[in-house]
Amino acid sequence: GENVEQHPSTLSVQEGDSAVIKCTYSDSASNYFPWYKQELGKGPQLIIDIRSNVGEKKDQRIAVTLNKTAKHFSLHITETQPEDSAVYFCAAGYSGGGADGLTFGKGTHLIIQP
């Protein structure tokens, strides 16, 4: 089955700086890579996703890059703000079949220092 590794487990950055979270996956058949943000006491919420036919996707201050050859993908947050403080999860899945959904990384606790 798929295995997703996520690093770092905790990331502390100064407000206004950039943050980068990295994930690797093991199954070359995976072709869907979402990122979820979980605020304290809430369920995870999708913030951005990318499919394997695209190398990069941006949405305002958030971007995701995908390297299929190396089987890794990254989340980039620029101009970080206090409300970016949360736990972030990467995940990998296959849209062409198989119903067991997504495999999640263990999460990164992002702390934005004022």
Partner 1 sequence: NAGVTQTPKFQVLKTGQSMTLQCAQDMNHEYMSWYRQDPGMGLRLIHYSVGAGITDQGEVPNGYNVSRSTTEDFPLRLLSAAPSQTSVYFCASSYNAVGAYEQYFGPGTRLTVT
Binding site for partner 1 (CB under 8 A): 6, 9, 31-32, 34, 36, 41-46, 49, 89, 93-102, 104-107
CA torsion angle 52 20 62 94 (round to 10): 20
Distance CA 31, CA 27 (A): 9
Nearer residue to partner 1 within complex by CB, 49 or 78: 49
In the bound complex, what is the minimum distance in angstroms from residue 104's beta carbon to partner 1? Answer: 4
Contacts of 52 (CB under 8 A, 6+ apart): 30, 31, 32, 33, 66, 68
Q: How far is the CB of 43 from partner 1 (least distance, A)?
A: 3
Q: Judged by CB, which is closer to partner 1: 3, or 113?
A: 3
